[in-house]
Amino acid sequence: MKTYASAGEISPALERPLVTLGNFDGVHRGHQFVIGEVLKRSAQTGRPALLVTFHPHPLKIIRPQSAPPLLISHEEKMARLEALGVEHAVVIPFTPAFAALSAERFVRDVLHRDLKASAVFVGNNFNFGRGREGNVGLLRRMGRDLRFDVPELPDLLILGSPASSSRIRRAVRSGEVELARELLGRPFTVPGRVIRGDARGAALGYPTANLSPSAEILPADGVYVTRARAFGAEHDAVSNVGSRPTFEGAGFAIETHFLDRAPELSGLYDEWIEIAFLARLRSEVRFDSADQLKRQIAADVARARRFFEQLAPPGGG
């Protein structure tokens, strides 16, 4: 994927492109649908497809104190956009000066003058410009004068409501990782570096890799069926997110126990791994003894194994 640092770099490299624009945090199924429509129109007309996004997230500049946590990093976002088939992308630096740009001036100066867009594809809830004053209606009105099309796209409804980054954040924060997976089209993941823990899991017979997460948002405290990617391979796992209340003063941790064919945990220290959250097993609770906790972990592991057995194709192949 070729990326451009400003809209002014596009012309004359791309002639009258089909443009889609947005923050694309999470690159969820709603984003995938809109991007798919752009790529489909590009294949039909021969016009180049161009994606426009912003960095950092606009709210981190406009209202940093209330900016939402990002679902994925900027680097992962760009990689996922490329994997969808996007070949050209403009990453506009979002600065206070750019934030002050009116919606009408953005359309005239960026979409029309710099990009020379022949069509603009956005979701129905898209807002842009100073104070989020611009919307799809404004794009259509100005498009008629400036000779670019704004196709009508239906909302992609998932379980009765549109997919959105804010809806995914709510699902993750409440531990509804199955809903997050449905909205994203893939499991929600938390990357991070493996750090040394206190070895309580190993003492109970269930050694764990302890993660120092790099994600801005984490699932609610609880026990989850997960899949861990380490050294380029995926491993079925079960993970605990929370403060480990059974042990006095234990503190917050993300602990992952590999179910089968686990790498040597000592070899994971300081390594970068990624935990994919597939299903929630239970909330985190305080047990009266380590033995009670051990029995519950055994039950959690058994349930996680049954989850993966049900995922396996018939005959195991």
pLDDT at 129: 94
pLDDT tier for residue 260 given thresholds of 50, 70 and 90: confident
DSSP 41-105: HHHHH-PPEEEEEEES-HHHHH-GGGPPPPSS-HHHHHHHHHHTT--EEEEEE--HHHHT--HHH
How does the average pLDDT of the chain come out, rounded? 92
CA distance linking residue 184 with residue 129, whole number of Å: 26
Provide DSSP, 199-211: -HHHHTT---EEE
Per the model's pLDDT, the better-predicted residue between 313 and 63 turns out to be: 63
Find the mean pLDDT for residues 283-305: 90
Tens of pLDDT along 35-74?
999 999 999 999 999 999 999 999 999 999 989 999 999 9
Q: What was the pLDDT predicted at 263?
A: 59
Confidence of residue 3 (pLDDT cuts 50, 70, 90): very high
pLDDT at 251: 76
Q: How far is it, in rounded angstroms, from Cα 252 to Cα 248? A: 12
Residue 271 has pLDDT above 60, yes or no: yes
For the cut 60, the answer to whether the pLDDT of residue 185 exceeds it is yes
